[in-house]
Structure 1
Amino acid sequence: MNRAALLIPHFNNPQGLAASLASVGADECVDAVIVDDGSTRATIDEALCRAAWRAKGELKFYYLPHNCGIEYALNTGLEAILAAGYEFVARLDCDDLCVSDRIARQMAFLDQYPEVYLLGSAVTFFDASGDRFTLHQPQTHAQIVRQMHKDNAFTHPSVMFRTAGVKEIGLYPIDCKAAEDFAYFWAFVARYPTANLPEVLTRSEYNDSGISMSRRRQQQAMRIKILARYFDWRPQSMLNIAKAAASFALPLSFTRKIKRLLGVGTWN
């Protein structure tokens, strides 16, 4: 068995799943744990997945009986990963792509810095027209803490974390729908040193049907809830919650106009 498992939730996107699996390099020593979240329109094509998979590891498939939501699919996968005894969990979503040695590079960093429990990277976002932009997240733990009081300092499909941390803090929260990753990463940040690599190790699909756009108001409401949970009474924390509340209350087009006028690049 490999030390790392790549956790991929799936919902009605077998071609995207195959593309994600095909992006993992042939020399990568990693198993893939794939959880179908009750797909009905387009279920997993296991033969297509096995044809796409080149890495030195196994494919393991799990199927939820009906659509429960991504947090339940992720937790089903995490429970299987914990039961199997893996050391690391890497994340990827269907249609998102790894650079060929992403897993090895993240594992090497975590082996070099055993105190770090959560590790992300820079991510390039793409759509049908090509690459759109690259997001460079803060790299040091102190920078990450400051960013987390504003917004997520990790891009979900880029992260790798230790199962030892999962055993301590538990599974993804189910009370923060559309922002389960922000809540989960806060739990890591509050307890362990964390980091982001400056290199782009993941390419992520950008589209208006993604959770950040299609469920924006729900995500913003959960963001306020999480920021309040980790509120530290600093003036900056008060300002960040006020910004999040304004972002929730105002239309997206209006908040974008305000950002352009103020020259603000990080107020979502």
Structure 2
Amino acid sequence: MRNGVPAEQPKVSVIMPVRDGERWVAEAIRSVRDQTFAGFELLVIDDGSTDATPAILAQVAATDPRVIVLRQPRDGLVAGLNRGLATARAALIARLDADDIALPDRLAQQVDYMQRHPDVVLLGGWATIIDENGRQKGRDMRPSPQALRSTLMKKSPFIHPTVMFRAEAARRVGGYHAAFEAGEDYDFWLRLADIGEVAILPELLICYREHGGSVTRTRQLRQIYSARLAKLAAAARQAGRPDPSTALSAPPDWHDPAPGPFERDSSRLFRMLELADPTVAATIPASAVDLDAITSQLRTLTAGERKFAQAAVLNLLRRGGLPVPHTTLWRLLLRLGPVKAAKLLLGDK
């Protein structure tokens, strides 16, 4: 109820977390308000913004009862997503980031598809890449809608701000899990796929903004670490075993001297992948260099993990002074990929 008048039940709840998003949040909200499909509510979760974002949100909410602002201290993205999920009134939930733009027919197309395919619990789409000024960068993200389940067990084929999913299914699997920091979406997709069908609508649904707030090397490493754990958990569930990730209440620290059995091997591997940072590689004690952590996992390394491993071994080669023969490091570097090894040695990272 708003202003004493019962609010109409929305068919779609759009969830948009934001923190200090004054530059683009008004445009993102406008793209939702201008949808050809009108039966929505927009839940904007303000994660402790200290810029002009709160004032922008208050002004919009005062003029459009479909826009509902939820405020929280700086609890982070997962907390904001789960708060939006808990508050949402609609049976369908759509995501949009506060720096992206929904194309006018985005909701209409996805609602139509979900109505015609009641077995689908998660629906993605395509995105056009734009720069920070809204100019197209000449390319699109068009993940293949084919063989989604096999692809999903290797990597995420979904662009998070394009997805629509069923609220009942999302709540049944427990929403987003904080333990999978930077990879919480991938873990969520895998759990949704446990209980229903997944699909990608081969249509451009949003403009996805790439801008100066680039992902750091540390966050990239955390993202692929979380992805590895999410895949291991999914494999256990599919084999009929208990989900080993339920013991995790927070993102694991791969430096933990007493890791749990679920994350032990992955943590050992990622302590070595962290050496892709030259500063870390230069300061690690020689006794902590554990090449077997990489070689024992060589067959299972993803492209992202392999890239970090190559850079880590190259940094060890450049450092020198280790009780590891250079020939051993060379052999490992070549096993990780001879072409990439040559590029790294030439300084082409």
Same fold, TM-score > 0.5, yes or no: yes
What is the rounded CA distance, in whole Å, between the counterparts of 1:259 and 1:137 in structure 2? Answer: 28
1:14-40, Cα deviation, whole Å (9 max, x unpaired): 331111111122532211001011112
What is the aligned partner in structure 1 of residue 199 from structure 2? 195
Q: Give the match for residue 249 of structure 1.
A: 309
**Structure 2 counterpart of 1:3, from 11, 20, 35:** 11
Residue type at the aligned position of 1:190: D
Q: Which residue of 2 aligns with 1:134?
A: 140
- The Cα shift of 1:49 comes to 2.8
Q: Residue 224 of structure 1 aligns to which amino acid in structure 2?
A: R
User: Percent of aligned positions with the same letter in both sequences?
Assistant: 23
Residue deviations 1:174-197 (CA, integer Å, cap 9, x gap)? 101111111111111222101001
Task: Provide the aligned length of Structure 1 versus Structure 2.
Answer: 248
Q: 2:67 & 2:119 partners in 1: Cα distance?
A: 29
Change (3 A) 1:27 1:97: same
Q: Distance in 2 between matches of 1:102 and 1:153?
A: 18
Task: Report the structure number with the largest CA radius of gyration.
Answer: 2
Letter in 2 for 1:245: E
Alignment partner, residue 46 of structure 1: 57
CA contact (8 A) 1:37 1:67 kept: yes
- Cα contact 2:132–2:211 (8 A) shared by 1: no
The 1:246/1:168 distance shift into structure 2, 3 A limit, reads same
Structure 1, unaligned runs of 5 or more:
262-268
Pair 150,208 (structure 1): closer, same or farther in 2 beyond 3 Å: farther
Q: CA RMSD in A?
A: 3.0
Residue number among 22, 28, 31 corresponding to 2:37 in the alignment: 28
Distance 1:26 1:107, change over 3 A: closer
Which residue number corresponds to residue 111 of structure 1?
Answer: 115
1:1-268 to structure 2, matched below 5 A, reads 1-24=9-32, 25-29=34-38, 30-44=40-54, 45-50=56-61, 58-64=66-72, 66-81=73-88, 84=89, 86-128=90-132, 130-132=135-137, 133-140=139-146, 143-211=147-215, 215-231=219-235, 239-251=299-311, 258=340
1:229 is displaced (CA, Å) by 2.1
Shift of 1:62: 0.5
SS at match of 1:94: coil
Kept in 1: contact 2:191–2:234 (CA 8 A):
no
CA shift digits 1:111-147 (9 cap, x unpaired): 001000100101111114722221111214xx11121
Aligned residue identity for 2:118: P
The one-letter code sitting in structure 1 at the alignment partner of 2:14 is L
TM-score (norm 2): 0.64
Q: Which amino acid aligns with 1:72?
A: A
* Deviating more after overlay: 153-162 vs 16-25: 16-25
Unaligned runs of 5+ in 2: 1-8, 239-296, 315-335, 344-349
1:166 Cα deviation after fit? 1.5
Change (3 A) 1:2 1:213: farther
User: How much does 1:231 deviate?
Assistant: 3.7
- Cα displacement (A) at 1:246: 2.0
Q: Which amino acid aligns with 1:120?
A: G
> In structure 2, do the counterparts of structure 1 residues 250 and 220 end up closer, same or farther at CA, with 3 Å as the change threshold?
farther
- Counterpart CA distance in 1 for 2:107 and 2:342 is 37
TM-score by length of structure 1 reads 0.82
The secondary structure found in structure 2 opposite 1:145 is: helix
Q: Is the 8 A contact 1:178 1:211 kept in 2?
A: no
SS of equivalent to 1:117: strand
